[in-house]
Amino acid sequence: MYNVALIGCGRISFKHIEGFVDNAGKLNLTAVCDPVKKRAEEKVSEYQKKFPDAAVAVYEDYREMLAKQKPDIVTIATESGKHFEITVTCLEAGCHVICEKPMALSVKDADKMIAVAKKNKRKLAVCFQNRFNAPVQKLRTALEAGRFGRILHGMVQIRWNRNEAYYAEAPWRGTWEQDGGTLMNQCTHGIDLLQWIMGENAVRVQAQTRRFMRPIEAEDFGAAIVEFKNGAVGIIEGTADIFPTNLNETLSIFGEKGSVVIGGLAVNKLETWRFADANSVGDTEDKILNPNEKDPPTVYGFGHSVLFKDFINSIESDREPLVSGESGKKALEIILAIYKSQKTGKPAGLPCDFSTLKMKGIFDK
Ligand SMILES: NC(=O)c1ccc[n+]([C@@H]2O[C@H](COP(=O)([O-])OP(=O)(O)OC[C@H]3O[C@@H](n4cnc5c(N)ncnc54)[C@H](O)[C@@H]3O)[C@@H](O)[C@H]2O)c1
């Protein structure tokens, strides 16, 4: 059993509680931390609905928690701008860390988090839970079996709605200091999937971002073309402005010998599955597509529990988690290159040492 603590008890934290409950054979929640005590207490109640006798301590200061009880694992779900400091402190205290996305707001900070994890021999994972969606795993298996041949191009579309009430609920959202815009917050999942399937080796991006209509500092729309090392091209379309509600998040991958499209509300539904070898493999599209496939209850999908399970297994078998710090940094770097491209009006190459803070005032002119 591993003792686990949750740091940050806001909107997404219910998925962490769900992850603890679903992995109860391995995880034992011992502490929850939030400066807003009531939120932390609510998480204890959520957990105790399943485990009424669980003794879970509440802390307003996570450093006090680390001093009083050193958990084996912490999961971090605070404002994005705080991930760096909290992750480094917890790793140095000897905890393994699962950090919400984006792991940091600059490449320099992400690199430091990875280095500190390595130095302290602790595991670090980033919550890109959509990698575990069943259709995405199926796509990944086909890719690894070489069924696409050469990958030519891929596209991700994130057509969602984050309205004024969403931004008013937590003033850090959409700020350069604590968040970034919709590419960094919402679209980072889709961008991670695109680059993960295309080979994790983006070399250049060219982008246009806009703050069209939301009352925030950062962008609410972005479009980008990503060039990969192998010559393949990725296209990103991401927005928080879709009227009137979330429409779809769709990943399309096209190779010489295969085409796959995964759509639905949040990349959860196979829409196209065509391979040159489909007859011999026995997975022709008519057999594979399932018209009854349901969207998840929220756009957060089904994956936190599976990601936590993979993380526990990575500790036990001393391997990297599927979404390691190194792998989780890739989407961050692409998004920061998109920001740089918007700022300079030119393509931006990777590696890209940039930070959201360098975008301050960009849309104020
Ligand atoms: N994986 C996903 O699908 C997903 C979805 C939504 C949000 N997120 C990410 O999760 C993070 C949190 O987002 P949210 O919408 O839940 O935010 P939120 O504002 O609703 O919650 C953040 C919470 O962290 C608390 N907090 C701040 N400083 C703290 C500290 N030092 N110690 C402990 N708690 C502290 C705040 O009081 C607040 O309750 C963000 O990084 C966001 O990008 C991920």
**Residue nearest ligand 1's atom 3 by CA:** 300
Could you tell me the pLDDT band of residue 346, with boundaries at 50, 70 and 90? very high
**CB 322, CB 339: distance < 8 Å:** no
The pLDDT, as a whole number, for residue 292 is 73
Q: Which residue has the tokens 């917050």?
A: 185
What pLDDT, in 10s, does the model give residues 35-88?
999 999 999 999 999 999 999 999 999 999 999 999 999 999 999 999 999 999
**Residue nearest ligand 1's atom 21 by CA:** 10
**Residue nearest ligand 1's atom 11 by CA:** 77
Shared domain check, 317 and 240: no
Instruction: State the closest ligand 1 atom to the C-alpha of 80, by its place in the atom list counted from 1.
Output: 41
CB-ligand 1 contact for 78 (6 Å cutoff): yes
How many helices (H) and strands (E) are present in the chain, helices listed first? 13, 14
The pLDDT, as a whole number, for residue 186 is 97
Distance CA 253, CA 159 (A): 18
The CATH number of the domain holding residue 8 is: 3.40.50.720
Could you tell me the pLDDT band of residue 296, with boundaries at 50, 70 and 90? confident
Could you tell me the pLDDT band of residue 283, with boundaries at 50, 70 and 90? very high
The CATH number of the domain holding residue 168 is: 3.30.360.10
Shared domain check, 350 and 209: yes
Shared domain check, 188 and 89: no
The pLDDT, as a whole number, for residue 300 is 75
Please tell me the distance between residue 10's alpha carbon and the centre of ligand 1 in angstroms.
5
The pLDDT, as a whole number, for residue 334 is 98
Number of domains in the chain: 2
Helix ranges (H only) for the chain are: 13-22, 37-50, 62-68, 83-92, 107-119, 134-144, 164-169, 182-185, 188-198, 278-281, 285-288, 304-316, 325-344
Shared domain check, 112 and 141: no
Kind and range of the H or E run holding 76 = strand 73-76
Please tell me the distance between residue 101's alpha carbon and the centre of ligand 1 in angstroms.
10
What pLDDT, in 10s, does the model give residues 159-172?
999 999 999 999 99
Please tell me the distance between residue 164's alpha carbon and the centre of ligand 1 in angstroms.
18
The pLDDT, as a whole number, for residue 293 is 75
Distance CA 178, CA 176 (A): 6
Shared domain check, 188 and 287: yes
Of 136, 177, 168, nearest to 360 by C-alpha is 177
Shared domain check, 157 and 122: no
Could you tell me the pLDDT band of residue 290, with boundaries at 50, 70 and 90? confident
Query: How is 209-226 classified by DSSP, letter by letter?
Result: EE--SSSSSS-SEEEEEE
CB-ligand 1 contact for 82 (6 Å cutoff): yes
Give the rounded percent of residues in the chain with a pLDDT score beyond 70: 100
Mean pLDDT of 319-336: 98
Q: Does pLDDT of 297 surpass 80?
A: no
Shared domain check, 78 and 198: no
Shared domain check, 246 and 266: yes
Distance CA 14, CA 42 (A): 10
What residue numbers bound the domain in which 159 lies?
131-296+329-359
Shared domain check, 44 and 33: yes
Model confidence, pTM: 0.97
**Does residue 203 fall inside a structural domain?**
yes
Name the residue of 6, 9, 12, 61 to mutate for ligand 1: max ligand atoms within 8 A of Cβ: 12
What pLDDT, in 10s, does the model give residues 92-118?
999 999 999 999 999 999 999 999 999
What pLDDT, in 10s, does the model give residues 184-233?
999 999 999 999 999 999 999 999 999 999 999 999 999 999 999 999 99
Q: At what angle do helices 188-198 and 134-144 cross, to 10 degrees?
A: 20
CB-ligand 1 contact for 11 (6 Å cutoff): yes
Shared domain check, 121 and 161: no
**Does residue 365 fall inside a structural domain?**
no
CB-count burial class (<10 Å; 0-12, 13-18, 19+) for 126: buried
Shared domain check, 93 and 168: no
**Does residue 309 fall inside a structural domain?**
yes
Shared domain check, 180 and 288: yes
The pLDDT, as a whole number, for residue 236 is 98
